[in-house]
């Protein structure tokens, strides 16, 4: 089962959480990204998320496989929304269950950073004044096609 979901409608988070209930887990950590009402001081009404779904799913699963290998965790899954999301809507959900709390928290942070760096999703800010703009991000790519460091050019970072 692919545990990285891309969804064009709202997802029942309780169901995702239930998949992480493992007897070997003693700690559970979640991270949620919500659509915020401002971006760089401008009022936002919504964000439109566009994705290349097949590659989101496969690259997302690569990230999940990485954390299973590198950290002492019991189970994890994640979800990224697409479509038009008004302020307050859930855009990303990450859940990590681990034997100990430290790994659960650390893996949540690792996963959201890697999702933002590698997974092919693009956001388009819808501002209250009617303007609609793609978020500008500067990324470099090395000779093997891997992404290097990036920075946002006015990003909607949590």
Partner 1 sequence: MPRIEPEYFAQPGEQAGRRAETRETSVTTAVAFYEELRVAYGFALPAGQMRVAVNAVFCPWTRSLKEGDHVVFIPPVSGG
Residues in contact with partner 1 by the rule CB under 8 A: 33, 49-52, 54-55, 58-59, 80, 91-92, 112, 115-124, 134-141, 143-145, 147, 150, 152, 155-158
What is the spatial distance between Cα 151 and Cα 158, in angstroms, rounded to a whole number? 14
Q: How far apart are CA 48 and CA 27, in angstroms?
A: 33
The residue whose two tokens read 């936002």 is 44
CB burial readout 76-85, b (16+ within 10 A) else e? bbbbbbbeeb
Q: Which is nearer to partner 1, 66 or 135 (CB)?
A: 135
CB of 71 to partner 1, least distance (A): 20
Burial (CB < 10 A; 0-12, 13-18, 19+), residue 94, is buried
Instruction: Kindly tell me which of 77 and 119 has the beta carbon lying closer to partner 1.
Output: 119
CB of 79 to partner 1, least distance (A): 12
Q: Which is nearer to partner 1, 52 or 88 (CB)?
A: 52
Work out how close the CB of 74 gets to partner 1 at its nearest, in angstroms, rounded to a whole number: 24
For partner 1, give the closer residue by CB, 74 or 112: 112
Minimum CB–partner distance for residue 26 and partner 1 (Å): 28
CB of 155 to partner 1, least distance (A): 7
Judged by CB, which is closer to partner 1: 52, or 128?
52
């Amino acid at each position: 089962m692919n545990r990285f979901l891309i969804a064009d409608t709202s997802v029942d988070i309780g169901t995702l959480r239930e998949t992480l209930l493992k007897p070997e887990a003693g700690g559970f950590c979640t991270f949620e990204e919500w659509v915020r009402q401002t971006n760089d001081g401008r009022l936002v009404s919504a964000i439109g998320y566009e994705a290349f779904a097949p590659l989101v799913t496969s690259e997302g699963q690569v990230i999940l496989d990485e954390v299973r290998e590198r950290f002492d965790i019991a189970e994890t899954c994640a979800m990224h929304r697409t479509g038009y999301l008004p302020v307050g809507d859930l855009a990303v959900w990450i859940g990590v269950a681990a034997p100990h709390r430290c790994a659960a928290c650390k893996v949540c942070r690792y996963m959201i950073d890697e999702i933002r760096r590698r997974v092919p999703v693009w956001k388009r800010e819808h501002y209250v004044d009617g303007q609609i703009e793609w978020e500008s991000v500067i990324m470099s790519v090395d000779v093997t096609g891997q992404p290097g460091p990036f920075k946002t050019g006015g990003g909607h970072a949590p």
